[in-house]
Amino acid sequence: MDIQSVKLRYGIVGNSHGLNHALTTAMRIAPTDLSAIILGESGVGKEVFSKIIHNLSPRKHNTLIAVNCGAIPEGTINSELFGHEKGSFTGASDKRKGYFEVADGGTIFLDEIAEAPLETQARLLRVLETGGFFKVGSSKEQKSNVRIIAATNVDLLDAVKMGKFRADLYYRLNTVPIKIPPLRERQEDIYLLFRKFTLDFAERQHITPVSLDEQAKKVLTSYHWPGNVRELKNIAEQITVLATSRLVQAEELMTFLPNVNGRISNLPVLSSNNTNNNAFSDRELMYKLLFDMRQDIKDLKQAIFQLARTGQISMDRNMDMGRNNEWSEDYNSGHSHTSVPTSTAVSPYKSIEATREHTNNGGAIVINPSPMKAAVYNPDDSFNSVEVVDESLSIADKEKELIQKALKKHKGKRKDAALDLGISERTLYRKIKEYKIVL
């Protein structure tokens, strides 16, 4: 089968060099059992290429299963792909076959492979190398003769450097890379695709198709099309329905293009890939705790300085809190003190040594942070000693306390608590088990 026949069979429109090269590569590897990875931005038609490879291969009479790895929750993706045994986890009431067992002898298309968890990536590597896999909850290895075709819209080498994708799996999948060019690099194909989409839609809806004048064609081809072919199809169908004239001019066309004339700015947005979305590390949680502690210390200093302003206590200009003189410089200007030791009392965080100064106006407390103790001011020059209580500054204790508060706040709902804490559910489950937190 030649390239033009493939284009007609799968509705592929265009004759750009990049598109033809990608199609030629897909046709050449189709008769083999080589794994392949399809690279390209969202909306360029990666799934169509997986169908071409499968249908031109000896496996064409067997199953082709398309799996979007980014759409399956992290906790269930292994069960979906490899199956599970009865009772292997909560809710596993029956034995279940996974996609690799169902597609034995066929092809599995793993879309958005970069979204797969690292544990799942390790399982996929084993399947690629040995053809074997284990069901969730089973110790018996099963074999499956499945061809894997993967696809992604991210740079996997960058994901490898960031530790989000296994290097060995990348090199195993990268046997034959197929790069599909974005629509902005196929300008000669844009109007051809537009005409196809408008004609097809008009025929289905029994309405007259639209056409563009010369200036409108220039606007259409110069637009950068961030959504690629998918976006072009949507715009073509909108224009076919909503255009006031069947000959669309440039001014009217620009009203349908979302990023033209400042209707929507091209500001960058956060992606699920920079996220999942996925999970905050333990180190990031530790940073969050440290920042919270820093804020608490700042609040404590402000409370002490407020007492200094009101005259209830006076500050030693020369005191040095962790070699930071800003305590005394900001609040003790114009004061001079001579300190003598006194008794101690409770302070909100670490206790502070309080000393007493005898002046012409009566006694006043002078705070000296080393050693860390505190005293209660009494206008009648007497001091009431109380028990010193130190609050734990252990990061583990603070982390456990935050998790308990979040779980209590959300009434034990772990998903909401994890979202509030800024960590993944998986990390939260591990922390609950580690700290033996009872829900």
Supply the DSSP string of 343-390, one letter for each residue.
Answer: -----SSS--EEEEEEETTEEEEEEE-SS-------TTS--------P
CA distance 347 to 374: 6
DSSP state of 62: S
pLDDT at 259: 63
Which token pair is 396?
A: 């583990």
Ordered mean pLDDT values, 10 residues apiece, the chain (439 residues):
91 93 95 94 94 95 94 90 88 88 95 94 93 91 94 93 94 92 94 95 94 94 93 95 93 84 40 43 65 78 76 51 45 44 42 42 45 45 47 76 87 86 85 83
Start-to-end CA span in the chain (Å): 63
Domain residue ranges of the chain, discontinuous segments joined by +: 3-179, 184-254, 279-297+393-439, 311-391
**What would the 3-class secondary structure string for 120-187 be?**
HHHHHHHHHHHCEEECECCCCEEECCCEEEEEECCCHHHHHHCCCCCHHHHHHHCCCEEECCCHHHCH
Q: Residue 1 burial (CB < 10 Å; 0-12/13-18/19+)?
A: exposed
Distance of CA 155 to the CA centre of its chain: 15
Tokens of 88: 């292997």
Nearest to 17 by CA among 5, 8, 25: 25
Cα dist from 338 to 118, 142, 258, 328, whole Å: 63, 82, 71, 15
The answer to whether 437 and 400 have CB atoms below 8 angstroms apart is yes
Q: What is the pLDDT of residue 344?
A: 41
Q: 279-297+393-439: same fold as 184-254?
A: no
Task: Please count the residues of the chain.
Answer: 439
Instruction: Write down the CATH superfamily of domain 3-179.
Output: P-loop containing nucleotide triphosphate hydrolases (3.40.50.300)
CB 346 within 8 A of CB 388: yes
The whole-angstrom separation of Cα 84 and Cα 191 is 49
Q: 396 with 367: CB under 8 angstroms?
A: no
> What value, to the nearest 5°, has the Cα angle with vertex 159 and ends 156 and 162?
155
Question: At how many degrees (to 10) do helices 17-29 and 46-55 cross?
Answer: 40
Cα–Cα distance for residue pair 282/39, rounded to 1 Å: 32
Other residues' Cβ atoms within 10 Å of the Cβ of residue 124: 25
CATH code reported for the domain at 279-297+393-439: 1.10.10
Contacts (Cβ under 8 Å, ≥6 apart) of 393: 293
Separation of alpha carbons 167 and 212, rounded Å: 48
For residues 313 and 304, the answer to whether their CB atoms sit within 8 Å is yes
Q: Would you say domain 184-254 falls under CATH 3.40.640.10?
A: no
